[in-house]
Structure 1
Amino acid sequence: MTDVARVVVVTGASGFVATELVTQLLHKGYTVRGTVRSTKNAEKTAHLRALGEVFAGKLDLHEADLLQDGSFDDVVQGAYYVFHTASPYQLGVEDPENELVKPAKEGTLNLLKSVAKSKDTVKRVVLTSSFAAMVKVSKGPADGKLYRDTDWNDESKADKDGGYLYSKTVAEKTAWEFCKEHGIDLVTINPTAVFGPVISKRADGTSVKQIKGIIEHTASSVSPWACDLQDVGRAHVLAAEVPKAHGRYLVTWPKLLNGKEVMQVLAKRFPQYKFPEDVSDSDSKEYADVSKLEKELGMTITPWQTSFIDMATSLIAHGVAKPVQA
Structure 2
Amino acid sequence: MDPSAPVLVTGGSGYVAGWIVRYLLEDGRTVRATVRNPDKPTGLEHLHALADAHPGRLTLHRADLLDDGSFDEAMAGCELVMHTASPFLMGRLDNPQEQLIRPALEGTRNVLNSVNRTESVKRVVLTSSVVAICGDNVDMRGKDRFTDADWNTTSTPNHQEYNYSKTVAEKAAWAMCEAQDRWDLVTVHPGLVLGPSLTTSSVSGSMTTMAHFIDGSMALGAPALQVGVVDVRDVARIHIAAGYTPSARGRYIANAETISLLDMGNALRRKFGNRWTFPRIELPKFLIKLSAPAAGLTRPYVERNVGWPVRYDNSRTRDELGIEFMPAEQSVVDHFQQMIDDGIAKR
- State the AA in 1 paired with 2:338: S
What's the counterpart of residue 261 of structure 1? 263
Q: For the residues of structure 1 that align with 2:87 and 2:204, how far apart are their CA atoms?
A: 12
- State the AA in 2 paired with 1:197: P
Which residue of 160, 170, 173 maps to 2:171?
A: 173
CA deviation digits over 1:27-58, x for unaligned, max 9? 11111111111123333212211222222222
Contact kept, 8 Å, 1:257 with 1:284, in 2: the verdict is no
Q: For the residues of structure 1 that align with 2:327 and 2:308, how far apart are their CA atoms?
A: 14
SS in 2 for 1:102: helix
CA deviation digits over 1:258-277, x for unaligned, max 9? 33332232222224866513
Structure 1 284/241 Cα, relative in aligned 2: closer, same or farther at 3 Å? farther
Give 5+ residue unaligned stretches, structure 2.
284-305
Question: RMSD of the alignment, in Å?
Answer: 2.4
| Mean Cα deviation higher: 304-313 or 96-105 | 96-105
What's the counterpart of residue 292 of structure 1? 316
| Mean Cα deviation higher: 221-230 or 124-133 | 221-230
What's the counterpart of residue 250 of structure 1? 253
Q: For the residues of structure 2 that align with 1:142 and 1:42, how far apart are their CA atoms?
A: 49
Query: Alignment identity in percent?
Result: 36
Q: How does 1:192-271 map to 2 (within 5 A)?
A: 192-202=191-201, 204-215=203-214, 217-219=216-218, 224-254=227-257, 256-271=258-273
Structure 1 206/94 Cα, relative in aligned 2: closer, same or farther at 3 Å? closer
Structure 1 273/28 Cα, relative in aligned 2: closer, same or farther at 3 Å? farther
Residue correspondences, number: 319
SS in 2 for 1:307: helix
CA deviation digits over 1:132-184, x for unaligned, max 9? 1111136474354310100001111112x322211111110100110111222
Q: For the residues of structure 1 that align with 2:106 and 2:202, how far apart are their CA atoms?
A: 27
Q: How does 1:46-125 map to 2 (within 5 A)?
A: 46-91=45-90, 92-119=92-119, 121-125=120-124
- State the AA in 2 paired with 1:182: Q
CA deviation digits over 1:198-239, x for unaligned, max 9? 222236222223224314545556762221111111110000
Contact kept, 8 Å, 1:203 with 1:320, in 2: the verdict is no
Q: For the residues of structure 2 that align with 1:85 and 1:166, how far apart are their CA atoms?
A: 17
What's the counterpart of residue 307 of structure 1? 331
Q: For the residues of structure 2 that align with 1:132 and 1:73, how far apart are their CA atoms?
A: 29
SS in 2 for 1:113: helix
Question: How far is 1:94 from its partner?
Answer: 4.1
Q: For the residues of structure 2 that align with 1:257 and 1:166, how far apart are their CA atoms?
A: 23
Q: For the residues of structure 2 that align with 1:286 and 1:47, how far apart are their CA atoms?
A: 35
CA deviation digits over 1:257-314, x for unaligned, max 9? 0333322322222248665134548889671111111111111111112211211222
| Mean Cα deviation higher: 126-135 or 302-311 | 302-311
Structure 1 253/286 Cα, relative in aligned 2: closer, same or farther at 3 Å? farther
Give 5+ residue unaligned stretches, structure 1.
none
Contact kept, 8 Å, 2:8 with 2:32, in 1: the verdict is yes
Q: Which portions of structure 1, spanning 4 or more consecutive aligned residues, are displaced by more than 4 angstroms?
A: 138-141, 218-223, 272-275, 279-286
SS in 2 for 1:224: strand
Contact kept, 8 Å, 1:134 with 1:152, in 2: the verdict is yes
What's the counterpart of residue 286 of structure 2? none
| Mean Cα deviation higher: 72-81 or 262-271 | 262-271
Structure 1 179/283 Cα, relative in aligned 2: closer, same or farther at 3 Å? same
Contact kept, 8 Å, 1:126 with 1:187, in 2: the verdict is yes
| Mean Cα deviation higher: 279-288 or 78-87 | 279-288
Q: For the residues of structure 2 that align with 1:134 and 1:285, how far apart are their CA atoms?
A: 15
SS in 2 for 1:97: helix
| Mean Cα deviation higher: 278-287 or 23-32 | 278-287
Q: For the residues of structure 2 that align with 1:44 and 1:142, how far apart are their CA atoms?
A: 42
- State the AA in 2 paired with 1:157: T
Q: For the residues of structure 2 that align with 1:319 and 1:140, how far apart are their CA atoms?
A: 39
